[in-house]
Structure 1
């Protein structure tokens, strides 16, 4: 497994849209954490192993799935989160040790105006979470990104859609250093 670049941000911030516009033309493998978890969790269910749907178990599945999916890749971009909502709706920061096991080389954190994120979620999913909750979640995401980057001694690029003139070019330039 080569370089793993983690593209992070809360639900609805625009990670996947930005990744598709930048990463797909570069020919780099682009994976989403949620799709890896769904794929490998399904395998476990089909094999009739016991599975409890919780954040910790999902992260273990993500680690194993990422290693399987990117074993022969020079560069893999993984699109995911540093903070999630648990089944009770509480915002939970994902433990730093999970990210060390993902063998990350760098992090790009995407942030935006919470009201715009709320609008995207309402439009895309038909459900919002409230601007205040999204703001708090984005703050936790940002703090956790800084903590993980520091703990792993890897670069952290923050792309703020509110101020960044050309987010696509900024991300492409950042990624090109790992090609």
Structure 2
């Protein structure tokens, strides 16, 4: 399968604020914001009241297929997704590296925040309590994966904290 050449990847755990940041970046540039969840039609792969994924590998295959049908080669895309997900046992798992081989991101960026704040946002959004220890493990694994992928593909690694996305915005422009 041919790899993409027009994706800027932004990751981070559920509730960290990726969507908000992506919308702001899209409004200040010519990049098109798309979320992995929308491409996958999240409701088809996981019940809406949880963040657990039964089959992470097949989910990523569906993502690649969906992106192939949605994206134009002459446009730039800010893909809002994850480096890791919680499997059906609530254990953080890395997304298959092959997925990122095909995505071929021009930048690896990750939004990070205090897990206590994230847990509160998720509770307000989903009316459900989340274990901060699991969120912390997931966020640490996301950071580890993001740094690794940045080195693997020799692309910039950008950590976004406190809504400071200027470095990513400057690269996209």
The structure having more radius of gyration, on CA atoms, is: 1
The structural deviation recorded for 1:2 is: 4.3
Residue pairs, 1:1-179, within 5 angstroms: 2-38=5-41, 54-161=55-162, 167-176=164-173
- Report if the CA contact (8 A) 2:35-2:81 is conserved: yes
Give structure 2 stretches of 5+ with no counterpart: 46-52
Quick check: which one's helix share is greater? 1
Aligned residues: 162
The structural deviation recorded for 1:172 is: 1.8
- Report if the CA contact (8 A) 2:111-2:159 is conserved: yes
Distance 1:105 1:171 in 2: 11
TM-score (norm 2): 0.85
Give the match's secondary structure for 2:106. strand
Give structure 1 stretches of 5+ with no counterpart: 43-51
Decide whether aligned partners of structure 1 residues 173 and 128 sit closer, same or farther in structure 2, where only a CA change above 3 A counts.
farther
Give the match's secondary structure for 1:13. coil
